[in-house]
Chains A and B, each alone.
Chain A
Amino acid sequence: EADIYQTPRYLVIGTGKKITLECSQTMGHDKMYWYQQDPGMELHLIHYSYGVNSTEKGDLSSESTVSRIRTEHFPLTLESARPSHTSQYLCASSEKVLREQYFGPGTRLTVT
């Protein structure tokens, strides 16, 4: 079972603030992913990475950016938060692309 951590778990922040959502995993997985999910709605892939210095945009257009400087760490940054960014953000990792993804506990973001 993968150990994957996200901080903060909950965040309430004002419009215009810069925020970084942290995601770390201890399994040594090369593949990491960020999803966005509104309550009762489907998961949308917003970013993914196949390894250090590799990042790609996902299916859902997002104003966020990501970086992958270390294998275990995949932070997501919003330069200027807006109320439309209010959502749950889920980080996941996998050993290989054809293998299962393991999810972190998520960060619930509210932008006022």
Chain B
Amino acid sequence: QKEVEQNSGPLSVPEGAIASLNCTYSDRGSQSFFWYRQYSGKSPELIMFIYSNGDKEDGRFTAQLNKASQYVSLLIRDSQPSDSATYLCAVTNSGYSTLTFGKGTMLLVSP
């Protein structure tokens, strides 16, 4: 059973701080990694994707991938109350057919 693990949270950070969200995965053959944001009652929205080891930055968001450790993270700089949501980590499985989603980490940014 291929698994994607995330701390359910909630992760509470003050406005302006850096939020760090972590994800581990069990399938060593995973090739592509995604972070989605989901507001309560809404559908998931793509935030970042990363395919190679290292860091990828997009605005306030940075995705980090370490395939050797089977670890992917998302950093949110200058966190805003509007960032309060559940963040889902998703990885492709080695059969390449589908994505496996983690259960998500709830982020709460307090003003």
A101 shortest CB reach to chain B, Å: 6
Q: Interface size class for chain B?
A: 20 to 34
Main secondary structure on A side of the interface with B: loop
CA distance A90 to B99 in the complex (A): 14
Interface size on A (CB < 8 Å)? 21
B25 at the interface (CB under 8 A from A): no
State which of A11-19, A75-83, A92-100 sits at the interface with chain B.
Answer: A92-100
Q: When the two chains form their complex, are residues B43 and A106 in contact, meaning their CB atoms are under 8 A apart?
A: yes
**A45 partner residues in chain B, CB cutoff 8 A:** 98-99
* Residues on B facing A (Cβ under 8 Å): 31-32, 34, 41-46, 49, 51, 88, 90, 92, 96-99, 101-104
* Residues on A facing B (Cβ under 8 Å): 33, 39, 41-43, 45, 48, 56, 58-59, 90, 97-106
Which 10 A/B pairs are nearest by Cβ-Cβ distance?
Answer: A103-B43, A42-B103, A43-B101, A106-B43, A98-B32, A97-B96, A103-B44, A100-B46, A100-B49, A90-B43
